[in-house]
Structure 1
């Protein structure tokens, strides 16, 4: 029989598991933007009781991924172009400073595999006659690099804020422009090399340049979608 003390320990774990599952469902589009959250259906799908599910939903609401409708129901936030633009600009402010702080503090056994993966992606594209790597591969490397920088900043609050803003920008679901993928790889390598060399100012500049180009690409895609 489970004791009260054991139940207290289990509850936070169940909430965390439910939170992670719900977050993945939102970011993957399984829970579509604008859809109303159906607690009973989700509890059954995730095989959790209503209490940890509601705690997880409350956390997602606090992070701005769910919004409360007038009648009290929760709805998956629809991210607008303006939301996405705001998120990118906040990311510039946070992540350039994170890169400066992280320079020389991200372990070599983290950076070296990331660099190797990016180089391999470029080589694979060249070997395939210029065919670009899959977005999933690029997204995986992108997520690992930005997470390593957030952690390497040594500032837990900054790291949490970066994760939250990156989650919001991922909700927009804007497909990368094919012509930008090689540029993104080159920008990532520039950031990694500055981090590995412990050059904070260069890492800061490289990150600012990278995110600035993402913003410029966004402008071009909105006002000149043929590009």
Structure 2
């Protein structure tokens, strides 16, 4: 499966979280395709560890919506449907607009500086940026807003939601006009947070995630028609 990475600890010391990170990355960058089996024995042999952390990692990824578990068949990379996309963005709209409202009431100068930096990174992405780079930069900014909301439970849930979002969002690039529109929306949201305007931050985030939902569904319908009606 070519999952080996060079990011620090020896493979023999990988925890379930470390294995989940490796498999998650392989799903996001396309090395593991939708519907592909994830066999514990094969993963354990490739990563040089026992099957226990593999099994635990697959349960972590199942909780994030990246892996499906079927009795007598085991784990597979989950195949995403149009219904999945619609539902996940509906959840994001509710949670992220609420997070933006909470963040507006308590955000610090340090958190605003981190948002400015994340926004600047998105603006520096050019037309040659990969879909994965775009997705990571975008979700980094959204994660910072969730952090600023001050709710650990909300942040945990949104972390799972963002992981699922990244699975599909990493497959397609934002066209230049949509990227500019998203950047302008990010800037407006940050301005509302800086002004501590909870109502405006909530509304702007709702509109922004709604636009992202429409783009994701349009791309899915145009590029994966066999899945669109499921």
Same fold (TM over 0.5): yes
- What secondary structure sits across from 2:37 in the alignment? coil
Q: CA deviation at 1:76?
A: 0.8
Q: CA deviation at 1:46?
A: 2.8
Report what 2:159 is aligned to. 163
Q: CA deviation at 1:58?
A: 1.8
Report what 1:151 is aligned to. 147
Q: Is it true that 1:105 corresponds to 2:101 in the alignment?
A: no
Name the CA distance, whole Å, in 2 between partners of 1:17 and 1:120.
Answer: 26
Name the CA distance, whole Å, in 2 between partners of 1:213 and 1:137.
Answer: 19
Distance 1:175 1:132, change over 3 A: closer
Name the CA distance, whole Å, in 2 between partners of 1:25 and 1:195.
Answer: 35
Higher mean displacement: 192-201 or 39-48:
39-48
Q: CA deviation at 1:28?
A: 1.9
- The root-mean-square deviation of aligned C-alpha atoms, in Å, is 2.8
TM alignment of 1:1-227, pairs within 5 A: 14-116=15-117, 118-119=119-120, 122=123, 132=127, 134-135=129-130, 137-172=133-168, 173-218=171-216, 220-221=218-219
Name the CA distance, whole Å, in 2 between partners of 1:60 and 1:12.
Answer: 19
Name the CA distance, whole Å, in 2 between partners of 1:203 and 1:17.
Answer: 35
Name the CA distance, whole Å, in 2 between partners of 1:19 and 1:218.
Answer: 25
Report what 2:5 is aligned to. none
Q: CA deviation at 1:220?
A: 4.9
Report what 2:8 is aligned to. none
Distance 1:207 1:83, change over 3 A: same
Gaps of 5+ in 1: 1-10, 126-130
Q: CA deviation at 1:198?
A: 1.7
Report what 2:228 is aligned to. none
Report what 2:3 is aligned to. none
The answer to whether the Cα contact below 8 Å between 1:84 and 1:168 also exists between their aligned partners in 2 is: no
Name the CA distance, whole Å, in 2 between partners of 1:103 and 1:133.
Answer: 34
- What secondary structure sits across from 1:175 in the alignment? coil
Gaps of 5+ in 2: 1-11, 224-230
Higher Rg of the two aligned structures: 1
Name the CA distance, whole Å, in 2 between partners of 1:148 and 1:54.
Answer: 30
The answer to whether the Cα contact below 8 Å between 2:189 and 2:205 also exists between their aligned partners in 1 is: yes
Normalised TM-score (structure 1): 0.79
Normalised TM-score (structure 2): 0.78
Q: CA deviation at 1:215?
A: 2.6
